[in-house]
Amino acid sequence: MASKVSCLYVLTVVCWASALWYLSITRPTSSYSGHRQFNTISIARKNVSFGNIRTRPINPHSFDFLINEPTKCEKSIPFLVILISTTHKEFDARQAIRETWGDENNFKGIKIATLFLLGKNSDPVLNQMVEQESQIFHDIIVEDFIDSYHNLTLKTLMGMRWVATFCSKAKYVMKTDSDIFVNMDNLIYKLLKPNTKPRRRYFTGYVINGGPIRDVRSKWYMPRDLYPDSNYPPFCSGTGYIFSADVAEMIYKTSLHTRLLHLEDVYVGLCLRKLGIHPFQNSGFNHWKMAYSLCRYRRVITVHQITPEEMHRIWNDMSSKKHLRLLVYRLQAPFIKAQKLKGARVKSKILYILLVRALEISS
Ligand SMILES: *[C@@H]1O[C@H](CO)[C@@H](O)[C@H](O)[C@H]1NC(C)=O
Ligand SMILES: *[C@@H]1O[C@H](CO)[C@@H](O)[C@H](O)[C@H]1NC(C)=O
């Protein structure tokens, strides 16, 4: 069977090659103008035919936008585009994100663009509701693939395509899910640093070095015939990863020639390996749930499995205690200055924790 296929392939290539050769040779008998015309035609044919043979996409992503926001980046170029994978029914999760960390107006002078990613639902009522939601908030994009867990990779690729097509001048992109809390202060000021030169070919998140799970009951089951290797390339957990915007187009274009896998984050890892881009590990990205405490959440970038109610509660608590950090710093600064002993740092840390606790209780 295999030899038959390869025989056919060789034959096709030979046929095309001879046809092209035949078309491209000049004919001494033709007139000057005729000759030129003939040549341009043959060049045009060459491009078309060779393009088809060599670069026919195996994963063409030939979907159309049903809802699009093509002008979102026209007025000003975003520093950060946030792509949030969501499902139709998660109206309250989307609203919670809009009202908390995903609010595009949280930062003065730093433009954020938030977009929710969706496919097409089989229920026309849900599609209509999402359409109405989109008309109010203008932060949803939808392509006409069927929205399902197995199509999550298409959702991510839609996001990459959107950035590459409508927002390629943005500096950074984050891809995350609707049940993730993002500490935007840390993300923007500690990780991305708006005042520094934007990075290129940059990719970071919670890096996983793993292999396929062959247990059919697992959420992450990978059939052997789809992915025979025993290891995945390093990939960032789909719960939240960040990349420089130039990577969006690179991944999208690479995906056209990379066989589709339903595990979105693994698939992006495969594209990164093809591109020679290594994802950086960053301990601020939490792949798992983490009980809320102000101290803890101040150190992270993402936390997983947060309900819309928790999102509001966490956001309100952190926003109302923003002043605490400064206050605590002022209180402990003289203490650090006064003691230049070795134990001073440890002691000041204990003092810091005690102060935060005291202020948390009192406020
Ligand atoms: C075909 O390719 C050549 C060289 O790559 C280019 O100069 C020419 O404009 C192309 N023609 C068409 C019709 O795209
Ligand atoms: C994914 O979307 C494509 C295009 O709409 C569809 O043909 C396919 O059935 C979907 N896959 C799943 C598992 O829903």
| pLDDT (tens digit per residue) in 85-115 | 999 999 999 999 999 999 999 999 999 999 9
Per-residue pLDDT at 361 exceeds 80? no
Alpha-carbon gap, residue 141 to 81, rounded angstroms? 13
If you take atom 8 of ligand 2, which residue's CA is the nearest one?
146
- Find the mean pLDDT for residues 190-208: 97
- Across the chain, mean pLDDT equals 86
pLDDT value, residue 324: 72
Give the start-to-end residue ranges of the domains of the chain: 65-308
Task: Measure CA of the first residue to CA of the last residue in the chain; give whole Å.
Answer: 75
Reply yes or no on whether the pLDDT at 266 is more than 80: yes
In this structure, which topology does domain 65-308 adopt according to CATH? Answer: Spore Coat Polysaccharide Biosynthesis Protein SpsA; Chain A (3.90.550)
Q: Whose CA is nearest to atom 9 of ligand 2?
A: 146
CB pairs under 8 A, 24+ apart, for 90-98? Answer: 90/178, 91/129, 91/133, 92/308, 93/178, 93/179, 93/308, 93/311, 94/133, 94/178, 95/308, 96/308, 96/309, 96/311, 96/312, 97/178, 97/311, 98/137, 98/139
The predicted structure's pLDDT at residue 349: 66
**Interval 321-349 mean pLDDT:** 62
Which ligand sits closest to the CA of 148?
Answer: 2
Residue 32 has what pLDDT?
Answer: 41
Of the bound ligands, which one is closest to the alpha carbon of residue 48? 1
Pocket flag, ligand 1, residue 40 (CB < 6 Å):
no
Interior/surface letters 245-278, b for 16+ CB within 10 angstroms, e for the rest: bbbbebbbbbbeebeebbbbbbbbbbbbbeeebe
User: Does residue 315 have a pLDDT over 50?
Assistant: yes
- Give the largest CA-CA distance in the chain: 98
pLDDT digits (tens, 9 = 90+) for 2-61: 555 565 565 565 556 555 555 554 444 333 443 444 444 444 455 555 445 556 889 999
Mean pLDDT of the 188-213 span = 97
Q: What is the mean pLDDT of residues 247-257?
A: 97
Which ligand is closest in space to the CA of residue 41? Answer: 1
The answer to which of 136-150, 198-212, 342-356 has the lowest mean pLDDT is: 342-356
Predicted pLDDT at 158: 98
- Return the H-helix or E-strand segment holding 303: strand 302-303
Pocket of ligand 2 (CB under 6 A): 145-146, 148, 150-151
To the question of pTM greater than 0.85 for the whole model, the response is no
Tokens of 194: 């708006």
Q: Is 105 in the pocket of ligand 1 (CB under 6 A)?
A: no
Segment 319-327 mean pLDDT? 77
Answer whether 115's CB lies under 8 Å from 162's CB. Answer: yes
Residue bearing the CA closest to ligand 1, atom 1: 47
